[in-house]
């Protein structure tokens, strides 16, 4: 779209390229996990909307910006600890991408808008935030669901997939239906939908 957008994306990618964790993309080629996931989420934004805004594209790219720096294990076990970790990470991601954006010339209004999307403020009523959530859920289903179901087993994976599905829009559901999911994931997802 603009040189400024390209610079912001390059800054986010450079930050995420430092991820010591590895993940394979849809093509099977491994790379730094958050870099791979952010690129896939950006691709989903392009599929979910014909003309994504700069804010949507930047937010998708930065949704888990440098997430590995504060692992889940640094917070208490249990749901309350998980929710606190996730909430704190969203705030941190928004602040970090805001610094990158300001550094390449973005003004406060667009920085604030990207922060709203990254923090998922207005989910369910804000179309861009819903597209963002759909993109993240589709990225999870495409890249991480096989590992999650294998690790947790069918019974424990079902509620996770049910929650993922409940956060998605009809458009997200439609794209999810086109994914070539592992048979074990498909089975768990069917059980999730049945509940």
Q: What are the pLDDT digits (tens) for 69-98?
A: 999 999 999 989 999 999 999 999 999 999
Structure tokens at 34: 């958050």
Structure tokens at 23: 């993940």
How distant, in Å, are the alpha carbons of 146, 174, 190 from that of 18?
25, 34, 37
Q: How far apart are the first and last CA of the chain?
A: 43
Looking at residue 128, its pLDDT comes to 97
- 17-51 pLDDT, tens per residue? 999 999 999 999 999 999 999 999 999 999 999 99
Percent of the chain residues topping a pLDDT of 90: 97
Query: What's the mean per-residue pLDDT of the chain?
Result: 96
Looking at residue 41, its pLDDT comes to 98
CB atoms within 10 A of CB 24: 12
Decide if 47 contacts 172 (C-beta within 8 A).
Answer: no
The residues, any chain, with a CB within 8 Å of residue 192's CB and separated by 6 or more, are 158, 159, 161, 162, 165
**Does residue 1 carry a pLDDT above 70?**
no
How distant, in Å, are the alpha carbons of 103, 160, 173, 174 from that of 147?
37, 13, 21, 22
Mean pLDDT in residue range 103-120: 97
- 130-171 pLDDT, tens per residue? 999 999 999 999 999 999 999 999 999 999 999 999 999 999
Instruction: Look up the pTM and report it.
Output: 0.93
Mean pLDDT in residue range 96-121: 97
- Tokens 């669901």 -> residue: 145
- 43-55 pLDDT, tens per residue? 999 999 999 999 9
């Amino acid at each position: 779209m603009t040189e400024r957008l390209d610079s912001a994306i390059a800054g986010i990618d450079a930050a995420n390229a430092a991820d010591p964790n590895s993940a394979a993309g849809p093509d099977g080629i491994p790379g730094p996990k958050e870099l791979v996931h952010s690129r896939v989420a950006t691709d989903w934004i392009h599929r979910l909307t014909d003309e994504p805004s700069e804010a949507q594209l930047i937010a998708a790219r930065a949704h888990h910006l440098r997430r590995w720096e504060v692992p889940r294990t640094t917070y208490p076990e249990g749901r309350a600890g998980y929710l606190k970790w996730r909430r704190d990470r969203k705030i941190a991601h928004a602040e970090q991408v805001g610094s990158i954006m300001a550094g390449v010339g973005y003004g406060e209004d667009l920085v604030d808008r990207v922060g709203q999307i990254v923090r998922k403020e207005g989910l369910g009523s804000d179309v861009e935030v819903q597209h963002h959530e759909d993109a993240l859920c589709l990225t999870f289903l495409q890249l991480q669901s096989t590992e999650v179901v294998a690790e947790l087993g069918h019974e424990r994976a079902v509620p996770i997939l049910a929650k993922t599905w409940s956060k998605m829009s009809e458009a997200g559901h439609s794209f999810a239906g086109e994914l070539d999911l592992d048979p074990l994931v498909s089975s768990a997802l069917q059980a999730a939908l049945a509940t």
